[in-house]
Structure 1
C-alpha cells in the first residue's frame, strides 16, 4: 500500500518558481533555463522573466517579485552594481542565485587571455550578422512553398524539397534565424516533381522524408483543423505511401542528401542540414586550394 502511494506520488509533477533576470532581451537566459529543466523528468518551472533590467529602481521591483514567489534566480547581468544588488537581495532572502554565463565566460577569458566586454546586449548588436539574418528571413518568406523562379533559387544557400507536411517551411524559418538563406519546393503529385532543382549550381538541395504512417497522421490532423473531408488521396494510406516512396527514389536518383524528419524536431532537422552544408562548404574550400 505504502509502495503504491509512493509510486503514485512519484508520478506527480514538481512545480517551482524560476526567476530569469536579464539586462538584455532575456532570450539567451530563457533558452538556457529550458535546456537545463528539460534534463529533469516531471519538473515544471513557473517562469518569471525580467528583461531589460538596467536601473536600481527596476532591480528593486524585481527583488520584490522574487520575494513574493521564492524559487531559483538565474541571471545574465553585466553591470557590476546591478549584479551586486541582485546577489545581496537574494542573500537576504536566502534564495539561490546563479550567474548563468559566468562559467563559460570565465573559461573562455582564461583561454584567450582577453578582457571581458561590459557592453549590455552585445550579442544583439545591429551588426552584419544581424542584417544577414533579417535578409535570410525575407528570402525564406519570398521563396516559400515553391515561390520564385529557378534563377532566383540560385540565391539560396539551401533548398528543401519534400512532400506536403514535412516541416519545410518552419525549418526554413529556423535556418533563416541562423543567417542561412533557405527556400523550399514541395513535391506535388502530377504537378511538381522537383526536376527544376536538378540544374541548381549554388544551393545545396536537401530531400526531406517522413514515414507514411506519421505523414497520414499529420495530414489528418491538418484536415481536421480545417474541418475538411478525409476522402482525398492526400490522406489515403496507400496513396501517401506511394507518394513518399517516389519522393525518396527521386532524391536518391538525383544524389541529394536525404533527412528523415519522422522523429526529428525542427531544430534537429535544421542542425542536420547545417552539418551537411558545412561539410559541403569545407569540400568546396579544399577544392579551391
Structure 2
C-alpha cells in the first residue's frame, strides 16, 4: 500500500500508456478515449495511435510497440482474424485490451435482433449522411457572419444571432459536422439589429448571450492578437453591458430561445441547440418532445 499523502499536498499527475488500435481512421476511438480520461483528475495518457490497421503484418508492428511501452490497449478492430491476433498478443504480454464499442454493439444487436456488420469503416461510408454533412459545412462557411440573402437563410435549419465574439462561427461549424445547416448573423450597434430575421419561416432563430465581463475579456484578447488599441466601445464595460442588455431584450421580444454561452464550451452550446432543433422538429410532425 502506498504511503498516505500529507494533508494539503498536491496530487502528482499519473502518466500511462494507452494504445488506440483501429482498422479505420481512429477518430471514434480517439474521441472515446479522451472522453473517458477526462473523468479522472491528474491522469495524463501517453497516446499511441494506430489507424488503418488492416493486415497481419501491421498488427504485428502494433504488438511490438505495445510490448515496448506496456499500457492499456483500446481497439475498434472489426476483422475477426485481426481481432483475435490482437487479443492473443495482448494476452501473451499480460496487457489488458478492450473492444471499446463491444458493450454498445452487443446491446444494440440483442435489442434489434440483428447481426453485426463486419464492414470496416462503416461509420465513414460515403452515404447520404456524409454528403449532407459536407453540404451543411459548405452552407455554414458561405453564410458566416451575416453573409447571404434572407432567401438563402430560409434554407438553414438554425440561424444563430448574437453580439460579436459569442462563438457563433465555431458553433455553426460544429453543427455542420452533425448535419445541421447553420448560419449566423452578428449584432452590430448602429448597423445590424437582427430585425431582418423576424420574417424567417423555416429556420429556428436562436439568440446567444454572454456575461459582460467574460465578453470584454474575450474581446480584449482578440484586440491584442490584432495589435489594436483597447480604447474603444468594443471593450468599454458600460457600452458592452448596454449592447448585451439590448440584444437580450430583442431576443425575448421576438420570442427567440436564448442560450447563455458564458460557461459553455462550443460542444455544450451545440448540444443545447441540437436539443432545441429536435424539439421543434418533433412538434412540427406531431410527436411529443
The bucket for the TM-score relative to the shorter chain is: over 0.9
1:185 aligns to what?
A: 185
Q: Which whole-Å CA distance do the structure 2 matches of 1:4 and 1:283 have between them?
A: 55
2:199 aligns to what?
A: 199
1:69 aligns to what?
A: 69
What is the number of residues matched between the two proteins? 285
Residues 105-124 of structure 1 mapped to structure 2, 5 A cutoff = 105-124=105-124
Q: Aligned-pair distance for 1:227? A: 1.7
For residues 98-152 of structure 1, the C-alpha deviation after alignment (integer angstroms, 9 at most, x for no partner) is 0111111111111111111100000110000000000000000000000001111
The reply to whether residue 275 of structure 1 matches residue 275 of structure 2 is yes
Q: Which whole-Å CA distance do the structure 1 matches of 2:202 and 2:93 have between them?
A: 58
Q: Name whichever of 219-228 and 174-183 sits farther off.
A: 219-228
Q: Name whichever of 275-284 and 163-172 sits farther off.
A: 275-284
| TM-score, normalisation: structure 1 | 0.96
The reply to whether residue 51 of structure 1 matches residue 47 of structure 2 is no
Q: Aligned-pair distance for 1:286? A: 1.5
1:263 aligns to what?
A: 263
Q: Aligned-pair distance for 1:82? A: 0.5
Q: Which whole-Å CA distance do the structure 1 matches of 2:259 and 2:224 have between them?
A: 27
SS of the aligned residue for 2:90 comes to helix
2:230 aligns to what?
A: 230
For residues 28-86 of structure 1, the C-alpha deviation after alignment (integer angstroms, 9 at most, x for no partner) is 11111111111111101111110000001111111111111111000000001101111
Q: Aligned-pair distance for 1:24? A: 0.5
1:15 aligns to what?
A: 15
Q: Name whichever of 220-229 and 134-143 sits farther off.
A: 220-229
2:284 aligns to what?
A: 284
SS of the aligned residue for 1:166 comes to coil
SS of the aligned residue for 1:118 comes to coil
Residues 2-151 of structure 1 mapped to structure 2, 5 A cutoff = 5=6, 7-8=8-9, 10-151=10-151
Q: Structure 1 segments of 4 or more deviating over 6 A? A: none
For residues 82-103 of structure 1, the C-alpha deviation after alignment (integer angstroms, 9 at most, x for no partner) is 0111111111111110011111
Q: Aligned-pair distance for 1:3? A: 6.6
Q: Aligned-pair distance for 1:5? A: 4.4
For residues 200-221 of structure 1, the C-alpha deviation after alignment (integer angstroms, 9 at most, x for no partner) is 0000000000000100011111
Q: Which whole-Å CA distance do the structure 1 matches of 2:71 and 2:8 have between them?
A: 26
Q: Which whole-Å CA distance do the structure 1 matches of 2:170 and 2:193 have between them?
A: 21
Q: Aligned-pair distance for 1:6? A: 6.5
Q: Which whole-Å CA distance do the structure 2 matches of 1:122 and 1:3 have between them?
A: 49
Q: Which whole-Å CA distance do the structure 1 matches of 2:71 and 2:115 have between them?
A: 33
